[in-house]
Amino acid sequence: MKANQPGFIGGWRNIWLLSRYWLKGRLSRAALLWLLFGESFAIVFIAFGTQTVFAFANRFATNGPAGQFSTFALSLILAFVLVGLLQGGFSGSGLPVTSADVDYVFTSPVRPREIFGAKVLINSLTTVLFSFPPLLFLYITLARNYHTSLWTALPAGLATLLFLITALMLSADVTLSLSSNLGSTMKVIRNFLIVGVAIVGFVPVILLIPSVPRFLTPISQLLPSGLAAGLSVGLVTGTPWSLGLTLEAVALFAWFAASLLLGVRMSRNHFYEVLTIYGADNPVQSSGATKSLLRTSGMSVWSVVRSKESVIMRRSKERRGLLVSSLFLSAFMVIYSLAGIFQSSPTSFLFILFLVGSFGSGSASGWLEKERLWIIRTSAIDLRRYVREVYLARVTPLLMFLTPVTVAVGIPLIIGQLGQAGSYAVMLALPAALEVAAVMMGGGMYFAARYGQSTTDDILSSQAQQLTDVKRFLYQTIFNLLIVSPIMGLVLAGAEASTYIPVSPAALAAALFVAAGAYTYFVLRYLLNVSGDQIAKREDL
Amino acid sequence: MGEISVESLTKNYDSLVALNNVSFNVKSGEIVGLIGPNGAGKSTLMKISVGILRPTEGTVKVSGHDIVQDPEAAKRLIGYVPENPSLYTALTVREFLGFVGKIRDVNDMTLEARISESLKTFSLEDKADALLGSLSKGMKQKVALIAATLHGPDVLILDEPLTALDPKTQAFVHGWIRSQGQSGKTVLLSTHNLEIVQDYATRIIIIDRGNVIAVGRLDELRALAQTKSDARLDEVFLKLTEDA
């Protein structure tokens, strides 16, 4: 009994008990496979991404030592993580729980603070397990680059790890702050604070544009992302320990303590109503009359199918998420363009293509979770066509968001480099971004159709589903990279080919553009047809 | 009118035999109750009959149309309610029914009329513009029943339509099933509620461990089970499945 006396955040025994069982639940064979695969993937990604980091560093190298400016690159990446987690916090996923947690943990005589404490502990532990090896790899790579002791990678990694745990707690705090128990004044303050943090979080991104004044720099350094970047890069680049670094370390710990205290304070009452519950059917909470958006009278069956998909995306907030993510990608493209990265580094453009494509693929994967296959399969409807129409409904908003940005970014670049070989590469690269997004979205549809779990009455066990997810993610990534590699290859070839092939560069660019377009069309058609066939074959519903 | 003909139907899941050489017929206008213990193969049989699962061997024909060889023609004749109907939670009741009617090829005028009429019959008029995700389980079940009948199918295949319904809704669904039979529709009803089967089914199929162990009217099953002439179906069922 003594061991369970309420302490700082409640009874430690309950926290330990919950953490132990959650950990046991998480460390399944599939989860360990995920961990290994995820870490390997992250290390490969880091090896690839560090090229981009150094490209940023070199971009600012004229104003001082390159190492100093890597802080920008890292704080930029960490700021994205921070803003992404805060955004997740707003959608209720800052403290993810399962239906079983709600049914058994929240109905047990366990204090909400203890649940919060256990969640924080388990999230922190998972973060350490998942993130530390790739972080260590990153800082060892940087230490080698700056010729400092490889041991500096250890404290540098720990500083970034502390940031990640703090950011996860902030995300949890945001989710807790959505609770209806919060007073109206607190809600207003909360909203201002969150918007403020989100804006400040983007400061490092804006700083990449050469004309933006440098006095904005200290603002970004006040956030945990800036502090962790300053500390980690400072350590790994061999900056002597100073008062500045001490203050940064203290401030980072202060963020950590404040976010923990805030969470403890807000988890006094039950909070499960604000959480995203995994495994549930995502019920829409709205009650009462809803304005009808799906018109069927006088419409063809296929326009009704497209319309149904759009309405579902809109009402399930998926379209809003799409808009936010597209703005994020658009901002990346604009900043890359303004910072001159496109012109100087074709590999950095491949990095963007990868981001755009992964996003499109991930977006498509979500389709099947909202689909009701038993209705489709018991109707006399052409499933290939059905999948094509769903794809159209999903890809259209993505292209509508990205196309104007691509045009806005591309035209000045092309005009600025008119006549040079590089301009043809840009002419190919910009539509290729859209083609890659479209093709990888088709790949996402195929993998969702083949491996995705539909809402069925014969739900796979969670472990079987995790294994399926691992396979799906693994195959999907490899498959998507393979199917878009011809488009990426054309982009890289665009700049070089005119040197070796004795034709007009403009004619060559036009030919490559048509080839990429034709390839996109035929690959998409094939992918969507086989997706329809996969739906027709599925028996797990 | 619709008929269901099941011949030598077998379904294997790897080494598990879910259905073993099952054969029976459901004549036009009949209400046939399909009963059996959990895991007997009822849902598998239902899912094969509506084209969700492929049989390992054998055939299911709906009014002569093979569900595997000629699925579109067969599906036009079938209305199906699964055991746990999951609906598009982000659509309203009217939007959902409009969508289902469209993909089941119902013309606009008929669809509008049927939706309005059904909402009235099922007392869901005031929920027409409510999101499906906000409805209770009983209401969702009613919406699934409406969706199954929008295209005017000749055959209704109902898999546990009474599961988890409150007594009032159960009574309503009882009446609705009877009215479907009276209007000449062929109904294949899988349920654990033996009362409804005893009251409304013209014939009963008992299935256990993938095998059909008895088919017939209640009095025929009583004779087969060697029970009293007024024995209730649950008694007959227990006797027959015990012996199987």
Does A185 share its domain with A324?
no
pLDDT at A10: 56
Domain boundary among A249, A283, A317: A283
Does A59 share its domain with A178?
yes
Residue A380 to residue B73, Cβ atoms within 8 A: yes
The nearest alpha carbon in chain A to B47 belongs to: A541
Query: How many cross-chain Cβ pairs, A to B, lie less than 8 Å apart?
Result: 124
Residue B83 to residue A457, Cβ atoms within 8 A: yes
pLDDT greater at residue A369 or residue B227: B227
Contacts 24+ apart (CB under 8 A), A519-522: A519/A486, A519/A487, A520/A435, A520/A438, A520/A439, A520/A487
Q: Which residues contact A449 (CB under 8 A, 6 or more apart)?
A: A368, A387, A530, A531, A532, A534, A535, A538
Supply the DSSP string of B114-162, one letter for each residue.
Answer: HHHHHHHHTT-GGGTTBBGGGS-HHHHHHHHHHHHHTT--SEEEEESTT
Residue A336 lies in a domain: yes
> What would the mean pLDDT of A115-140 be, rounded to a whole number?
84
Question: What is the model's pTM?
Answer: 0.75
The nearest alpha carbon in chain B to A455 belongs to: B86
Residue B134 to residue A286, Cβ atoms within 8 A: yes
Residue A1 lies in a domain: no
pLDDT at B118: 94
> What would the mean pLDDT of A363-379 be, rounded to a whole number?
84
Note the ipTM here. 0.89
A185 touches B: beta carbon within 8 Å:
no
What's the gap in Å between the CA of A299 and the closest CA on chain B? 9
Residue A214 lies in a domain: yes
Does A407 share its domain with A274?
no
Q: Is the pLDDT of residue B108 over 50?
A: yes
Which of A100-114, A185-199, A440-454 is predicted with the least confidence, judged by mean pLDDT?
A185-199
Does A379 share its domain with A524?
yes
Q: Is the pLDDT of residue A271 over 80?
A: no
Does A367 share its domain with A241?
no
Residue A168 near residue A260 (C-beta atoms within 8 A): no
All residues of chain A having their beta carbon less than 8 Å from the beta carbon of residue B51 are 377-378
Q: Binning pLDDT at 50, 70 and 90, where does residue B23 land?
A: very high
Q: How many Å apart are CA B46 and CA B157, to the nearest integer?
A: 7
pLDDT greater at residue A173 or residue A65: A173
Does A326 share its domain with A450?
yes
Q: Is the pLDDT of residue A103 over 80?
A: no
| pLDDT tens track for B116-142 | 999 999 999 999 999 998 888 889 999
Does A393 share its domain with A536?
yes
Q: How many domains are there within chain A?
A: 2
State residue B17 phi and psi, 5-degree precision.
-95, 105
Share of chain B above pLDDT 70, in %: 98
Does A406 share its domain with A356?
yes
| pLDDT tens track for B181-224 | 888 899 999 999 898 999 889 999 999 999 999 999 999 999 99
Share of chain A above pLDDT 70, in %: 67
Residue A442 lies in a domain: yes
Residue A201 lies in a domain: yes
Residue B86 to residue A292, Cβ atoms within 8 A: no
pLDDT at A74: 78
Q: How many Å apart are CA A492 and CA B23, to the nearest integer?
A: 63
pLDDT at A97: 75
Share of chain B above pLDDT 90, in %: 75
pLDDT at B143: 94
> What would the mean pLDDT of A43-66 be, rounded to a whole number?
60
Which of A36-45, A388-397, B94-103 is predicted with the least confidence, judged by mean pLDDT?
A36-45
| pLDDT tens track for A246-270 | 999 999 999 999 999 988 888 877 7
Residue B95 to residue A308, Cβ atoms within 8 A: yes
Residue A483 lies in a domain: yes
Q: Is the pLDDT of residue B61 over 90?
A: yes
> What would the mean pLDDT of A426-455 be, rounded to a whole number?
80
A62 touches B: beta carbon within 8 Å:
no
Which of A87-96, A157-166, A201-210 is predicted with the least confidence, judged by mean pLDDT?
A201-210
Averaged confidence pLDDT in chain A? 76
> What would the mean pLDDT of B46-60 be, rounded to a whole number?
94
All residues of chain B having their beta carbon less than 8 Å from the beta carbon of residue A287 are 130-131, 134
Does A384 share its domain with A454?
yes
3-state secondary structure A147-164: CCCHHHHHHHHHHHHHHH
Residue A291 lies in a domain: no
Q: Is the pLDDT of residue B106 over 90?
A: yes
Share of chain A above pLDDT 90, in %: 14
Residue A292 lies in a domain: no
Residue B94 to residue A370, Cβ atoms within 8 A: no
pLDDT greater at residue A525 or residue A126: A525
Q: How many Å apart are CA A373 and CA A379, to the nearest integer?
A: 10
What are the domain boundaries of chain B?
4-77+154-243, 86-152
A393 touches B: beta carbon within 8 Å:
no
Q: Is the pLDDT of residue A458 over 80?
A: no
Residue B95 to residue A380, Cβ atoms within 8 A: no
Residue A304 to residue B89, Cβ atoms within 8 A: no
Does A427 share its domain with A505?
yes
All residues of chain A having their beta carbon less than 8 Å from the beta carbon of residue B110 are none
Q: How many Å apart are CA A42 and CA A26, to the nearest integer?
A: 20
| pLDDT tens track for A333-342 | 776 667 666 6
| pLDDT tens track for A188-221 | 777 777 677 666 666 666 666 666 666 666 776 7
Q: Is the pLDDT of residue A346 over 60?
A: no
Which of A403-412, A511-520, B10-19 is predicted with the least confidence, judged by mean pLDDT?
A403-412
Domain limits for position A32: 8-283
Q: How many Å apart are CA A194 and CA A174, to the nearest integer?
A: 8
Q: Is the pLDDT of residue A343 over 70?
A: no
Q: Is residue A439 classed exposed, middle or buried when 0-12, 13-18 and 19+ CB atoms within 10 A define those classes?
A: buried
Q: State whether CATH 3.40.50.300 applies to domain B4-77+154-243.
A: yes
Length of chain B: 244
pLDDT at A376: 93
Residue B111 to residue A296, Cβ atoms within 8 A: yes
